[in-house]
């Protein structure tokens, strides 16, 4: 228990009396004490003795930001016996930013997902899924060169996300954590080299091409990233083997795919418009535990970097965008299978404008499956198990 509190200074311990009197009713955020030392001490002592106390029954673990009434957070309500989780409920925080609603009425040829939420950086996968959905409605496909570059983007996102997950999970392995986080910067530079600005925000292809000198620069940066990735060793996290199991059947029924599904032995064959080709689980890899998820992630990332290098070397010539075409009225959806699972985008178009934009990130399914993975997990391992799923709560903005 202490290690959770040490590693996650944002842990919030609720008032147990109010929790038991009226569970689930949020308090006024202005009343929240972000950390209550006395409660923390009581909880640690109770857990150390393996006893159940009223205080130890509920732990509210808030993953950034600390104030539960602010947007972009996830919450897990855990029931514990001694030091083990007996029941878990996962919930999102308050995420509404009106993203989908603001898209209604926009002209279909000018929809940039990140502009809707005022972000500087593009979220590549939903933007790509949106372009694919509109292309499906129009009955066109992007040119070969654009499809290859889109594949490069999906692969680089896979590497980037793998490093984030590893950095978040390696709570007890500071050297590994530092190495993963340092490498993220290299991969960020690679990704920005491809999707600078609004490159992906184009139906029928890409808004801008990758110039020869940019390609050369990317190929020069890649070996360092490949070497850095190869140096990451998971031996320091061996104690996560067998911990946080997500059975294959649960993953399937919850709709989980991507690396979480494959780490549990689930065939990752969700029909997609643009698929990330992840690694096949190796021998003994598909155990469905936190360590298997990390191994699968790293194997995926290594494969993805290899594909990026190959694609950039053999990039087909030609245009990166289709010539003029019209997008008729109707409903269409597209699925992009990213490293963490499938991004689904549905569009309804009327008179050249969006009537509905629906973005469904993979986290929706993962959160539904998460409580099962926490069943019986020691409190010390909870943070690492949750982190091993690679939830990016910002993906759930609406």
Partner 1 sequence: MSVPSLVHARLPALRAVLPARHSGDVDVLQVPVPHLRTVLSFLRDDADVACDHLVDITVVDHGPAAPAGAGRAGPRFLLVILLSSRSHGTRVRVESALDDAEPTYPTLTTLWPGALLAERELWDLFGVVADGHPSLRRVVLPEGATGHPGRVNDAPGRSPWPPRGGSGGGAHGDGARDGGSR
- Binding track, positions 231-260, relative to partner 1; x by CB under 8 A: ---------------------xxxxxx---
- Per rule CB under 8 A, count of chain residues that contact partner 1: 48
Write out the binding residues for partner 1, residues 292-351 only, by CB under 8 A: 330-333, 335, 342, 344, 346, 348
How many angstroms separate the CA atoms of 357 and 128, rounded? 13
Q: Which of 17, 107, 230, 267 touches partner 1 (CB under 8 A)?
A: 267
CB nearer to partner 1: pick between 236 and 375: 375
Does residue 44 interact with partner 1 by CB under 8 A?
Answer: no
Q: How far is the CB of 32 from partner 1 (least distance, A)?
A: 14
Angle between helices 144-169 and 174-195 (to 10 degrees): 160
The DSSP line for 146-159 is HHHHHHHHHHHHHH
How many angstroms separate the CA atoms of 389 and 189, rounded? 24
Does residue 140 interact with partner 1 by CB under 8 A?
Answer: no
Measured between its terminal Cα atoms, the distance across the chain in Å is 34
Secondary structure class of 139 (helix, strand, coil): coil
Q: 181 in the Ramachandran plot: left (φ > 0), alpha (ψ -120 to 50) or beta?
A: alpha
Write out the binding residues for partner 1, residues 378-397 only, by CB under 8 A: 396
What stretches of the chain show up as alpha helix (H) in DSSP?
A: 2-7, 16-21, 37-49, 99-103, 113-116, 124-138, 144-169, 174-195, 212-231, 248-254, 258-263, 290-313, 363-374, 379-388
Q: How far is the CB of 357 from partner 1 (least distance, A)?
A: 10
Does residue 360 interact with partner 1 by CB under 8 A?
Answer: yes
* Binding segment toward partner 1, per CB under 8 A, in 166-174, 215-223, 363-371, 378-386: 363-371
How many angstroms separate the CA atoms of 10 and 72, rounded? 14
Q: How far is the CB of 162 from partner 1 (least distance, A)?
A: 23
> Nearest 5 degrees, angle CA 209-CA 215-CA 221?
140
CB nearer to partner 1: pick between 11 and 73: 73
Structure tokens at 81: 């016996």
Sign, CA dihedral 68-373-377-284, equals: negative
Q: How far is the CB of 332 from partner 1 (least distance, A)?
A: 6
* Binding segment toward partner 1, per CB under 8 A, in 87-95, 172-180, 280-288, 383-391: 87-95
> Nearest 5 degrees, angle CA 248-CA 251-CA 254?
150
Does residue 137 interact with partner 1 by CB under 8 A?
Answer: yes
Does residue 79 interact with partner 1 by CB under 8 A?
Answer: no
Does residue 269 interact with partner 1 by CB under 8 A?
Answer: yes
Q: Kindly list the residues in this chain that would bind partner 1 in the complex (CB under 8 A).
A: 24-26, 28, 30, 69, 91-92, 94-96, 98, 100-101, 104, 136-137, 139, 252-257, 267, 269-271, 330-333, 335, 342, 344, 346, 348, 355-356, 358, 360, 364-365, 367-369, 396, 398
């Amino acid at each position: 228990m202490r290690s959770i509190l040490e590693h996650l200074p944002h842990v919030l311990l609720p008032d147990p009396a109010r929790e038991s009197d009226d569970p689930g009713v949020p308090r006024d955020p202005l009343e929240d004490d972000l950390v209550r030392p006395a409660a923390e001490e009581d909880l640690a002592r109770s857990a150390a003795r393996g006893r159940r106390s009223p205080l130890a029954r509920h732990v509210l673990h808030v993953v950034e930001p600390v104030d539960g009434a602010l947007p972009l957070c996830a919450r897990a309500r855990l029931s514990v016996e001694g030091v083990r989780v007996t029941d878990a409920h996962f919930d999102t925080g308050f995420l509404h930013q009106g993203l989908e609603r603001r898209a209604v009425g926009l002209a279909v040829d000018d929809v940039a997902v990140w502009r809707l939420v005022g972000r500087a950086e593009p979220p590549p996968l939903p933007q790509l899924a949106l372009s694919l959905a509109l292309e499906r409605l129009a009955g066109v496909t992007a040119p070969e060169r654009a499809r290859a570059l889109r594949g490069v983007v999906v692969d680089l996102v896979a590497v980037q996300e793998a490093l984030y997950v590893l950095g978040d999970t390696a709570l007890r392995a500071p050297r590994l954590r530092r190495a993963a986080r340092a490498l993220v910067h290299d991969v960020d530079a690679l990704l920005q080299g491809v999707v600078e600005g609004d490159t992906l925000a184009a139906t029928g292809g890409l808004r801008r091409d990758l110039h020869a000198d940019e390609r050369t620069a990317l190929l020069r940066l890649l070996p360092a990233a490949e070497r850095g990735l190869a140096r990451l060793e998971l031996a320091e996290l061996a104690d996560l083997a067998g911990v946080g199991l997500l059975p294959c059947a649960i993953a399937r029924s919850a709709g989980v795919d991507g690396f979480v599904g494959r780490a549990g032995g689930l065939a990752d064959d969700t029909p997609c418009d643009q698929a990330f080709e992840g690694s096949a689980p190796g021998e003994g890899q598909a155990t469905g535990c936190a360590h298997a998820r990390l191994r699968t992630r790293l194997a995926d990332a290594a494969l993805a970097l290899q594909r990026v290098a190959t694609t950039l070397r053999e990039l087909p010539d030609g245009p990166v965008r289709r010539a003029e075409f019209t997008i008729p009225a109707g409903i269409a959806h597209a699925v992009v299978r990213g490293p963490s699972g499938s991004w689904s985008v549905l569009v309804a178009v009327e008179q050249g404008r969006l009537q509905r934009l629906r973005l469904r990130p993979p986290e929706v399914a993962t959160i539904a499956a998460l409580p099962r993975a926490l069943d019986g997990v020691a409190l010390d391992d909870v943070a690492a198990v949750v982190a091993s799923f690679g939830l990016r709560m910002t993906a759930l903005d609406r």
